[in-house]
Homo-oligomer: A and B are copies of this chain.
Amino acid sequence: MPSYTAPLRDMRFVMFELLDAMTELKTLPAHADLDIDTIDAVLEEGARFASQVAFPLNGIGDVEGCTFHGDGVVTTPKGFKEAYAQFVEAGWPSLSCSPDFGGQGLPVLLNNRLYEMLNSANQAWLMYAGLSHSAYECLMTFGTDEQKRVYLTKLVSGQWTGTMCLTEAHCGTDLGLLKTRADDNGDGSYALTGTKIFISAGEHDVSENILHLVLGRLPGAPAGVKGISLFLVPKFLPDANGDVGARNTIRAGSIEHKMGIHGNATCVMNLDAAKGWLIGEPNKGLAAMFVMMNSARLGVGMQSLGIAETAYQNALAYARDRLQGRSATGAKQPEKPADSIMVHPDVRRMLLTCKAYTEGGRAITTWAAQLTDRHLYHPDAKVRAEADELIAFVTPIIKAFITDNAFETNNLALQVFGGHGYIREWGVEQYVRDARINMIYEGTNGIQALDLLGRKVLHDQGARLRLFGGIVKAFVEEQADKPEMREFVGPLVALGEEVSKLSTELAMKAMTDADEIGAASVPYLRVVGHLVYAWLWARMARVALDKLDSGDDFYKAKLATARFYYAKLLPETAFQLQAARAGAKSLMELDAALF
């Protein structure tokens, strides 16, 4: 019963009108020849695959789930394997990968929109392919030539898929505690022994081989995070031709029964002297894994953005059709037994919240993709480095702010459906359950907030924050003499000043009490997330104002959504600023035994 139509118009708006992506791509030698028709064609084909192949399997995957057959064998829901084969056949995994390894070399910008659509269609299914790209990035950076030769082309084609094996039963956030042991086989390989849990797509039947990226400890390695190394442990060892060879001794021990993403197998993985090879340097595994992790964190933001878009679309369709009650200002459809619930201000509040957060999420993730292309391909090293700093700054925001906003969006979408929202067949309750994991995995949202405030802002004395502030300032100065922009520029400037003051205050407080960072970090992330969205929404309003007379109603909607965002959502910062400033005392004074 639910449906999904890719929001191509809004994607084009963000890429070409808001971010002027074509102009920038021309400055990147790798993409200078790319034309807009190619991008459009790829997007349309991706939209078709998402809505026609992946989306129809979403509800099936939820109901059927995965099956553990014992002896390490896991099968996926009906249709998943075939859809993955079509995905590989069409070349989607290779879209933005390097041509050196069989990739199509298209911009990350484009791949990012493809992943939004695929996540809108079916997060659980996409997760079989999702970590392959992160594994690809990790091997591109740290793999030996031999590793690249044997494994990268298979990851790029999608023939083989990747996983991240970090968590153990006693350690998730605190990886320093991990125990998996890697003994030297004396032939350049290692024998890994241990048990990993919560391994997404750890075992399945969609690809012919699975490449596990596993954190473990070498004999005699230092305790804690400084003794962690990263290993590549394939399910099947490659034979002399690089094809699937002998079965390795890494096996699924069971799969989890979860709140959602039932279509994806979350596995306990037992390693019994499984053969693996070091990726990067010994004891530097965490740094190598963080290349994969940062990519995955951006990916998690995309998961929630995708699902939220589908939730919004379906709630909107329901609201338009559902006749219930009359407008408080008099019947709007007097010929019908009742008005559409679109007449009720609070239904509109819910839908506009979904719309403003989803379109804001599309803008920030597209911007991050643009920054990634700039970081990868810009000829000027300084520009590349600056892009990298900005990506580091927005990564925790994309991971946490989007997944939190999407959870609100999915819940509001469910609420718009009334009682029907609670019933499985309408689909929306699945979105609430599926997207709930996104606030947890790849670093909980609490960890993201610590990353933003502690590592990304305070650790470099606010340099990254000032870098972003400079971009906002340039925009504000450009708009300073435009009366039609005052309603946006005023609050944006005020919030920017508050963030700057708050950051300084927290830096001072943290000098006398390290707990002040953790006490403020979550509200701080909400405030900074809103600053980025407020900047993007002001820019979107600017574009819309310029084209308001074009006759295209799209710009009317964009401007109205910007105004709604500023009127009804941005004021959350008044709350979060107070909460961020309220300090650690009320959190820390109560003895843990007295809770």
**Complex interface residues of chain A between 555 and 595 (CB less than 8 A to chain B):** 556-557, 560-561, 563-564, 566-568, 571-576, 578-579, 582-592, 594-595
Partner of A588, one of B348, B573, B588: B348
Contacts known (A432-B436, A557-B594, A595-B355); A345 close to B588, Cβ less than 8 A: yes
Q: Which residues of B contact A350 (CB under 8 A)?
A: 446
Kindly report which residue of chain B lies nearest to residue A449, judged by CB atoms. Answer: B346
**Residue pair B433, A419 in contact (C-beta under 8 Å):** no
**Residue pair A557, B324 in contact (C-beta under 8 Å):** no
Q: Which residues of B contact A595 (CB under 8 A)?
A: 316, 342, 351-352, 355, 557
**Residue pair B345, A519 in contact (C-beta under 8 Å):** yes
Complex interface: stretch among A42-50, A93-101, A420-428, A473-481: A420-428
Cα-based distance from A560 to B589 in the complex (angstroms):
7
Kindly report which residue of chain B lies nearest to residue A517, judged by CB atoms. Answer: B328
**Residue pair B421, A328 in contact (C-beta under 8 Å):** no
Kindly report which residue of chain B lies nearest to residue A561, judged by CB atoms. Answer: B590
Q: Which residues of B contact A592 (CB under 8 A)?
A: 320, 340, 342-343
Q: Which residues of B contact A349 (CB under 8 A)?
A: 519, 522, 587
Q: Is the interface of A mostly helix, strand, loop or mixed?
A: helix
**Residue pair A518, B578 in contact (C-beta under 8 Å):** no
A150 within 8 A of B: no
Contacts known (A425-B257, A594-B556); A587 close to B436, Cβ less than 8 A: no
A543 within 8 A of B: no
**Residue pair B578, A564 in contact (C-beta under 8 Å):** no
Q: Which residues of B contact A343 (CB under 8 A)?
A: 592
**Residue pair A557, B323 in contact (C-beta under 8 Å):** no
A25 within 8 A of B: no
A337 within 8 A of B: yes
**Residue pair B440, A422 in contact (C-beta under 8 Å):** yes
Kindly report which residue of chain B lies nearest to residue A516, judged by CB atoms. Answer: B345
Cα-based distance from A342 to B518 in the complex (angstroms):
12
Cα-based distance from A338 to B414 in the complex (angstroms):
40
Cα-based distance from A301 to B349 in the complex (angstroms):
24
Complex interface: stretch among A168-176, A182-190, A213-221: A168-176
Q: Shortest CB–CB separation between residue A338 and chain B, in angstroms? A: 6
Q: Which residues of B contact A310 (CB under 8 A)?
A: none
**Complex interface residues of chain A between 401 and 425 (CB less than 8 A to chain B):** 407, 411, 414-415, 418-419, 421-425
Q: Which residues of B contact A432 (CB under 8 A)?
A: 259, 436
**Residue pair A173, B345 in contact (C-beta under 8 Å):** no
**Complex interface residues of chain A between 298 and 357 (CB less than 8 A to chain B):** 316, 320, 323-325, 327-329, 337-338, 340, 342-352, 355
**Residue pair A167, B419 in contact (C-beta under 8 Å):** yes
A137 within 8 A of B: no
Partner of A259, one of B316, B429, B586: B429
Partner of A514, one of B324, B328, B518, B591: B328
Interface centre among A260, A560, A564 (most CB of B within 10 A): A560
A497 within 8 A of B: no
Cα-based distance from A578 to B571 in the complex (angstroms):
6
Contacts known (A351-B595, A575-B571); A590 close to B557, Cβ less than 8 A: yes
**Residue pair B517, A259 in contact (C-beta under 8 Å):** no
Q: Which residues of B contact A568 (CB under 8 A)?
A: 579, 582, 586-587
**Residue pair A173, B324 in contact (C-beta under 8 Å):** yes
Cα-based distance from A414 to B446 in the complex (angstroms):
13
Interface centre among A329, A347, A449 (most CB of B within 10 A): A329
A439 within 8 A of B: yes
Q: Shortest CB–CB separation between residue A399 and chain B, in angstroms? A: 14
Q: Shortest CB–CB separation between residue A525 and chain B, in angstroms? A: 11
**Residue pair A415, B440 in contact (C-beta under 8 Å):** yes
Q: Shortest CB–CB separation between residue A358 and chain B, in angstroms? A: 12
Cα-based distance from A289 to B292 in the complex (angstroms):
59
A258 within 8 A of B: yes
Interface centre among A340, A439, A574 (most CB of B within 10 A): A574
Cα-based distance from A345 to B524 in the complex (angstroms):
14
Q: Shortest CB–CB separation between residue A61 and chain B, in angstroms? A: 15
Interface centre among A352, A407, A578 (most CB of B within 10 A): A578
A377 within 8 A of B: no
A177 within 8 A of B: yes
Q: Which residues of B contact A557 (CB under 8 A)?
A: 590, 594-595
Q: Which residues of B contact A338 (CB under 8 A)?
A: 174, 177
Q: Which residues of B contact A429 (CB under 8 A)?
A: 258-259, 436
A515 within 8 A of B: yes
A–B Cβ pairs within 8 angstroms, 5 of them: A316-B595, A328-B517, A328-B518, A563-B589, A571-B578
Residues of A at under 8 Å CB distance from B? 167, 170-174, 177, 197-198, 256-260, 316, 320, 323-325, 327-329, 337-338, 340, 342-352, 355, 407, 411, 414-415, 418-419, 421-425, 429, 432-433, 436-437, 439-441, 444-446, 449-450, 513-515, 517-519, 521-522, 553-554, 556-557, 560-561, 563-564, 566-568, 571-576, 578-579, 582-592, 594-595
If A259-B422, A342-B592, A557-B590 are given as contacts, then 16 extra A-B residue pairs at C-beta distance below 8 Å, sorted by A number, are A172-B324, A172-B419, A197-B419, A256-B423, A329-B515, A343-B592, A345-B515, A350-B446, A352-B586, A355-B595, A415-B439, A432-B436, A553-B591, A571-B579, A574-B574, A574-B575
